């Protein structure tokens, strides 16, 4: 036999397979569907003249309402972030939240916005939204653009429990809604991006996570399956070159070592997993808001930055069209690459330089990069909230220390006090069983 190259062999294989494939023709229901499409436009109610008439009347009514009741469309009652988010204190010139943040984040289903959000799935816990207080200011939301920073803290919550943030783009500053909730489930890519469940914790597998916002050692020691999937299988498919090229954890990590490692980090910083997921959900919701308003392109930067706890948090997103499947048995999937970063200010840089004088320049820059930059997917906040999973040490890791610093949940001075000269290793060392034992 003459030797063929592999491409020829595969070409012949594909041709033969297609020849052998069954002859598939359209079914009656396809033709019926087409018939329905043909009929629809003939109806008066679907005709353009009818639509034009209805549209004109609706526009006239809207104009009248706007003229007489314009205040109704623009008046919401925002609340300063300090009133809703934890108390702030000054540490080394940088404001940061107090450690005593609410740790039992649940919400009665009656508190969920009616008509927009839905209740969580059976067996899932619903997390509590912050309680708003009385303070009334008037603001105009997107597509209105302020030419100066609006006089509201960012983020803030309106009286009717809508979470908002100030976002800067080349047109100016705008106020964008980003409310976290249990929204409609995901649908297919070409329909619409959905927010899904943003308040539900996997309480069947992790009761202590649902109770306190953190895993208990006991839960993690005894767990054999997560979402009915054996942990050995989750580890296997989560490693590089399995369900994803980059993987959900490093080669030497496993799902339990990663959960344990990050649980320790978050606990050490006096935070909880829902608190860590919150800013990432906010960013994702802002991106979805812009998708709905303006559409999405592959390389996508709908705005420059978000004001978040007095920091400018820069965002860049890339749509990838297909989907990355979850490693758990859940509906979560990913289609975006999201870059999140902020520039550390001179005081922060100065502090780190003094705290790590013996670190080589390369290591120092690596540490700064890991602290101030994240490359994640939209799966990360869902994973963090439901399972306390930040992904292992891969390029998709949402490092808890970086989340805390970038979004102003903790100052650099506080972070350093938690890890005492060990920040480089904390950020870069994978979570193997050995490394966890050492710590």
Partner 1 sequence: MEKNCRLKNLTDEQLITRLREGETEPLDELYSRYAKKLYLFFAYSMQVKNAEDLIHDVFLKVIKAANKFDPKKAAFRTWLFSIARNHCLDFLRHEKKIRFVSLEDNKEENEANSHKNLSESLSDQKVEVEPAFIRMSIHEAVNSCIHALTNEEERQVIVLYYSAGKVYREIGDILGYSISSVKKWLSRALEKVRICLEQKGIDSIN
Q: Which stretch binds partner 1 (CB under 8 A): 59-67, 146-154, 162-170, 235-243?
A: 235-243
Instruction: Give backbone dihedrals phi and psi of 223, rounded to 5 degrees, phi first.
Output: -70, 135
Among 71, 134, 241, 437, binds partner 1 (CB under 8 A): 241
DSSP labels, 91-121: ETTEEEE-S---------GGGSPTTT--PPP
Q: Which is nearer to partner 1, 127 or 379 (CB)?
A: 379
Q: Does 13 bind partner 1 (CB under 8 A)?
A: yes
Among 135, 217, 233, 365, binds partner 1 (CB under 8 A): 233
C-alpha span between 16 and 405 (Å, rounded): 58
Q: x/- contact string, 189-218, with partner 1 (CB under 8 A)?
A: xx----------------------------
C-alpha span between 88 and 21 (Å, rounded): 67
Q: Which stretch binds partner 1 (CB under 8 A): 13-21, 253-261, 274-282, 353-361?
A: 13-21
Q: x/- contact string, 273-312, with partner 1 (CB under 8 A)?
A: ----------------------------------------
Which residues ranging from 37 to 96 are in contact with partner 1 (CB under 8 A)? Answer: 37-39
Q: Which is nearer to partner 1, 168 or 284 (CB)?
A: 284
Among 83, 113, 236, 366, binds partner 1 (CB under 8 A): 236
Exposure of 276 in the CB half-sphere (CA atoms within 13 A)? 32
239 touches 254 (CB < 8 A): no
β-bridge pairing 311-325 and 88-91: unpaired
Q: Which is nearer to partner 1, 351 or 387 (CB)?
A: 387
In the complex, minimum distance from the CB of residue 368 to partner 1, in angstroms, rounded to a whole number: 27
Q: Which stretch binds partner 1 (CB under 8 A): 27-35, 100-108, 281-289, 379-387?
A: 27-35
What's 233-267 look like in SS3? HHHHHHCCCCCCCCCCCCCCCCHHHHHHHHHHHHH
- Preceding peptide of 143 cis, ω within 30°: yes
Among 245, 357, 361, 420, binds partner 1 (CB under 8 A): 245
Q: Which is nearer to partner 1, 262 or 330 (CB)?
A: 330
C-alpha span between 16 and 142 (Å, rounded): 56
Query: Of 409, 405, 408, 398, whose CA–CA distance to 423 is shortest?
Result: 405
C-alpha span between 158 and 176 (Å, rounded): 12
Q: Which is nearer to partner 1, 205 or 262 (CB)?
A: 205
Q: Does 185 bind partner 1 (CB under 8 A)?
A: no
313 touches 403 (CB < 8 A): no
Among 323, 343, 360, 417, binds partner 1 (CB under 8 A): 323
What does the block give as tokens for 300? 């996508």
Q: Does 10 bind partner 1 (CB under 8 A)?
A: yes
Q: Does 21 bind partner 1 (CB under 8 A)?
A: yes
Q: Does 34 bind partner 1 (CB under 8 A)?
A: yes
DSSP labels, 275-309: HHHHHHHHHHHHHHHHHHHH---SEE-S-SEEEET
Q: Does 322 bind partner 1 (CB under 8 A)?
A: yes
Among 128, 216, 243, 413, binds partner 1 (CB under 8 A): 243
In sequence order, what E strands does 135-279 have?
156-157, 163-169, 172-177, 200-201, 225-226, 229-230
* 80-139-197 Cα angle (round to 5): 70
Site residues for partner 1 per CB under 8 A: 1, 3-7, 9-14, 16-18, 21-22, 24-27, 29-31, 33-35, 37-39, 188-190, 233, 236-237, 241-245, 320-325, 329, 331, 333, 335
């Amino acid at each position: 036999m003459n030797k063929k190259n592999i491409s020829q062999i595969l070409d012949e294989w594909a041709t033969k397979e297609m020849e052998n494939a069954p002859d598939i023709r359209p079914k009656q229901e396809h033709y019926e569907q087409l018939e329905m499409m043909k009929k629809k436009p003939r109806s008066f109610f679907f005709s353009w003249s009818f639509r034009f008439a209805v549209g004109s009347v609706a526009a006239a009514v809207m104009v009248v309402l706007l003229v007489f009741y314009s205040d109704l469309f623009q008046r919401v009652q925002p609340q300063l972030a300090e009133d809703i988010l934890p108390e702030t204190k000054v540490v080394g010139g940088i404001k940061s939240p107090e450690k005593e943040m609410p740790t039992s984040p649940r919400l009665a289903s009656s508190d969920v916005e009616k008509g927009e959000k839905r209740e969580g799935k059976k067996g899932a816990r619903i997390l509590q939204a912050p309680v708003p207080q009385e303070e009334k200011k008037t603001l105009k939301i997107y597509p209105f653009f302020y030419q100066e920073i609006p006089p509201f803290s960012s983020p803030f919550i309106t009286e009717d429990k809508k979470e908002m943030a100030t976002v800067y783009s080349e047109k100016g500053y705008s106020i964008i809604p980003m409310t976290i909730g249990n929204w409609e489930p995901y649908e297919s890519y070409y329909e619409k991006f959905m927010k899904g469940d943003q308040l539900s914790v996997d309480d069947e597998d992790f009761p202590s996570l649902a109770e306190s916002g953190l895993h208990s050692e006991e839960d993690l020691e005894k767990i054999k399956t997560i979402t009915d999937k054996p942990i050995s299988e989750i580890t296997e498919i989560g490693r590089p070159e399995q369900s994803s090229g980059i993987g959900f954890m490093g080669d030497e990590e496993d799902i339990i070592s990663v959960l344990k490692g990050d649980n320790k980090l978050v606990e050490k910083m006096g935070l909880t997993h829902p608190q860590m997921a919150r800013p990432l959900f906010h960013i994702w919701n802002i991106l979805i808001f812009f998708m709905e308003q303006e559409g999405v392109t592959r390389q996508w930067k709908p705005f420059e930055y978000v004001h978040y706890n007095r920091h400018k948090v820069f965002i860049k997103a890339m749509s990838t069209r297909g989907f990355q499947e979850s490693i758990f048995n859940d509906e979560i999937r990913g289609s975006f690459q999201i870059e999140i970063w902020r520039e550390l200010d001179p005081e922060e840089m100065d502090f780190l330089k003094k705290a790590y004088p013996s670190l080589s320049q390369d290591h120092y820059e690596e540490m700064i990069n890991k602290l101030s930059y994240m490359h994640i997917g939209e799966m990360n906040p869902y994973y963090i909230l439901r399972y306390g999973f930040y992904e292992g040490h891969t390029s998709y890791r949402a490092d808890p220390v970086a989340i805390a610093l970038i979004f102003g949940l903790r100052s650099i001075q506080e972070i350093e006090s938690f890890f005492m000269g060990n920040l480089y290793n904390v950020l870069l060392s994978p979570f193997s069983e050995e490394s966890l034992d050492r710590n």
